[in-house]
Structure 1
Amino acid sequence: MVRRKAAPATDTPLRVYLAEQARSLRETYGSTDPILWRELSKPVEQLESGQPHQFRRYELPGNHPARWPEGDSSNLLTLTADDVLSTSEPTATGW
């Protein structure tokens, strides 16, 4: 398993930050296989098109106030279409 670097402090809007991280992951690992590229493109497309996006708390930037509250770093969060961050319930796929 590859460990991600700690996110630097940033003032970038959350949707932009998450999209940059998703594009970086896709560029790094997706180029090895077209199927993997397609799967790694899903979060990029969601974020770039302004759709709701589910992700884990540990994916937040290091300076985000919701990064270190009580709870688990693997808690599921949703960035809504209007860029409001909320806690989530897992979907049918377990995500």
Structure 2
Amino acid sequence: MDVYLTPPSSGWPLTSPIVGESVKVVADELGIDPGRLSKWRQKDCSPVRPTEGLADEQREIKRLQKELKEAQLERDMDLMLTQRLLV
């Protein structure tokens, strides 16, 4: 059974149109294994992760970045104080 490809919006390396071409034909033109092209297509067409909870993750990242910045500032202040006491 042939699987047919449609071209992505940009960055397509083929010189000839491929709409309606089978995976085998496209893979041959690219010089790659048809199985590899099929796996790439399946991976590329499947969602990486759901978008639900993304805002929560972004808030958590911001909170952690703020916490890290504060910890780094505290560390730097402690180092400066320690260096002054040692001099």
- Greater share of strand residues, 1 or 2? 1
Q: How high is the TM-score relative to the length of structure 1?
A: 0.21
Q: How high is the TM-score relative to the length of structure 2?
A: 0.22
More relative contact order, 1 or 2 (CA 8 Å, 6+ apart): 1
- Greater share of helix residues, 1 or 2? 2
Structure whose CA Rg is larger: 2
